[in-house]
């Protein structure tokens, strides 16, 4: 008899550690259980003795880590009788909210900054059938409006200020410890609204308290240079970065993120769009892993801190790759413009020449 257990989503897997009862109707798309992949070529390339693993959250059902929080938030919204959810989003939260609302049979309203979300995310949100409200303003403006509107309309907020989102997302830390058998020394991740760093820290702390692991990682939060309020020490007015997922100037989980930094002995750092895109390309071309630009901030940061010795040799490092590269095809194609395919005659001779020219 097979001992294989079909993965039926993270709530089912970690229900003892989540706020559900035996009667709760679980709204799931079998999210979670994402691969933890050890990098092979990049550590050799940089000539450092480090174990780097990536937690590829881009393989969740809607292509980002947001599904972890959304299964929990929508499950609880439905349990509480809500008929509609709402969020502001740089794209991934809207895609996840739209999908889980469809699954639950309720309505989703999403506020997105006009023209500033990646094509894949827009396509998903449209297909899942959410009510899209585009605003002339950035994520922070949308977030402020969502917080106000909830007092005026019967809608449940599913941004990460909803504590159930954090509960769902903390399971990524559980999975990492369950896979490795220990907690990593360093955990690197991109920081935008700061819900995810809050969630990981909560998960690691919970496992350490319950002695599932004996240590907790140092938390390293990486931002885009043009959207780096944690480096400025205060919210910023007009965040700008090609990594539109983290184009956020006024993070809602501000205090929690600082607590994670302080309690873990970690730090924040920022990287230019060029550095972020270089890390995205490196991961694709040397490891075959295609994440979206924002996600690559985690690797850009890890490589930077390894080079400086802030992360010493011998360390075990996990980088969260928060979203799938397919989310943002435009940025990827633009970045590879120099390698743009040329069209040739459809003859054996021409194809042969094209191959031999490259070898």
Strand spans (E) along 64-130:
84-88, 107-113
Write the DSSP assignment of 290-326 as a string of letters: -B-HHHHHHHHHHHHHHHHTSS-TT-EEEEEE-BBGG
Give me the least distance between CB of 79 and ligand AN7, in Å please: 23
Considering only 323, 328, 331, 332, the residue that binds ligand AN7 (CB under 6 A) is 323
Phi and psi at residue 332, in whole multiples of 5°? -65, -45
Structure tokens at 271: 């990287």
Give me the least distance between CB of 3 and ligand AN7, in Å please: 35
Q: In the β-sheet with 186-190, what is the strand arrangement from edge to edge?
A: 36-38, 51-56, 316-321, 186-190, 218-224, 267-271
Considering only 191, 213, 236, 311, the residue that binds ligand AN7 (CB under 6 A) is 191
Is 260 in contact with 201 (CB distance < 8 Å)? yes
Judged by beta carbon, residue 42 or residue 111, the one nearer ligand AN7 is: 111
Q: What is the DSSP letter of 224?
A: E
Query: Does residue 85 interact with ligand AN7 by CB under 6 A?
Result: no
Query: Does residue 192 interact with ligand AN7 by CB under 6 A?
Result: yes
Listed ranges 29-37, 86-94, 271-279, 301-309: which one lies at the site for ligand AN7 (CB under 6 A): 86-94
Structure tokens at 35: 């691969």
Give me the least distance between CB of 310 and ligand AN7, in Å please: 21
Task: Write the CA distances from 248 to 3, 108, 117, 238, integer angstroms.
Answer: 45, 22, 12, 8
Considering only 9, 113, 190, 217, the residue that binds ligand AN7 (CB under 6 A) is 190
Judged by beta carbon, residue 48 or residue 275, the one nearer ligand AN7 is: 275
Query: Does residue 302 interact with ligand AN7 by CB under 6 A?
Result: no
Listed ranges 20-28, 148-156, 292-300, 351-359: which one lies at the site for ligand AN7 (CB under 6 A): 292-300
Judged by beta carbon, residue 161 or residue 212, the one nearer ligand AN7 is: 161
Judged by beta carbon, residue 190 or residue 239, the one nearer ligand AN7 is: 190
Give me the least distance between CB of 111 and ligand AN7, in Å please: 10
Query: Does residue 295 interact with ligand AN7 by CB under 6 A?
Result: yes
Structure tokens at 203: 């998960």
Q: Looking only at residues 1 through 60 of this chain, which bind ligand AN7 when binding is defined by CB under 6 A?
A: none
Query: Does residue 90 interact with ligand AN7 by CB under 6 A?
Result: yes
H/E segment holding residue 186: strand 186-190
Query: Does residue 70 interact with ligand AN7 by CB under 6 A?
Result: no
Size of the site for ligand AN7 (CB under 6 A): 22
Query: Does residue 299 interact with ligand AN7 by CB under 6 A?
Result: no
Query: Does residue 138 interact with ligand AN7 by CB under 6 A?
Result: no
SS3 268: strand
Q: Looking only at residues 239 through 258 of this chain, which bind ligand AN7 when binding is defined by CB under 6 A?
A: 245-246
Task: Write the CA distances from 115 to 27, 110, 134, 248, 325, integer angstroms.
Answer: 31, 14, 9, 15, 19
Maximum separation of any 2 CA atoms in the chain, in Å: 69
Residue 271 CB: number of other CB atoms within 10 A?
A: 24
Judged by beta carbon, residue 292 or residue 305, the one nearer ligand AN7 is: 292
Q: Which residues here bind ligand AN7, judged by CB under 6 A?
A: 64, 66, 89-93, 160, 190-196, 245-246, 292, 294-295, 322-323
């Amino acid at each position: 008899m097979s001992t294989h257990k079909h993965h039926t989503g993270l709530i089912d897997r970690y229900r003892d550690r989540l706020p559900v009862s035996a009667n709760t109707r679980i709204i799931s798309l079998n999210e979670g259980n994402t691969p933890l992949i050890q990098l092979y070529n990049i550590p050799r390339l940089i000539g450092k003795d480090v174990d780097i693993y990536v937690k590829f959250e881009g393989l969740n059902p809607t292509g980002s880590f947001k599904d972890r929080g959304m299964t929990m938030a929508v499950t609880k919204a439905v349990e509480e009788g809500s008929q509609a959810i709402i969020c502001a989003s740089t794209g991934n939260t809207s895609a996840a909210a739209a999908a889980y609302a469809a699954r639950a049979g309720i309505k989703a309203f999403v506020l997105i900054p006009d023209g500033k979300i990646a094509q894949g995310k827009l396509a998903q949100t449209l297909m899942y059938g959410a009510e899209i409200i585009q605003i002339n303003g950035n994520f922070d403006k949308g977030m402020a409006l969502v917080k106000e509107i909830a007092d005026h309309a019967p809608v449940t907020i599913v941004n990460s200020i909803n504590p159930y989102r954090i509960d769902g997302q903390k399971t990524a830390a559980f999975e990492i410890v369950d896979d490795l058998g220990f907690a990593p020394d360093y955990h690197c991740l991109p920081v935008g609204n700061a819900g995810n760093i809050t969630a990981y820290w909560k998960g690691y702390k919970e496992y350490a308290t319950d002695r599932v692991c004996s240590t907790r990682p140092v938390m390293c939060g990486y931002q885009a240079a043009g959207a780096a309020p944690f480096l400025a020490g205060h919210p910023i007015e007009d965040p700008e970065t090609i990594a539109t997922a983290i184009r956020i100037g006024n993070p809602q989980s501000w205090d929690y993120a600082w607590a994670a930094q302080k309690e873990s002995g970690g730090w924040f750092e920022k990287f230019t769009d060029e550095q972020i895109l270089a890390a995205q390309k490196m991961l694709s071309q040397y490891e075959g892993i295609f994440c979206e630009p924002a996600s690559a901030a985690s690797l850009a940061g890890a490589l930077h801190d390894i080079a400086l010795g802030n992360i010493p040799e011998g360390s075990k490092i996990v980088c969260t790759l928060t979203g799938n590269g397919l989310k943002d095809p435009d940025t990827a194609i633009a970045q590879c413009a120099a390698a743009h395919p040329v069209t040739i005659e459809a003859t054996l001779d021409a194809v042969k020449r094209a191959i031999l020219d490259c070898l």
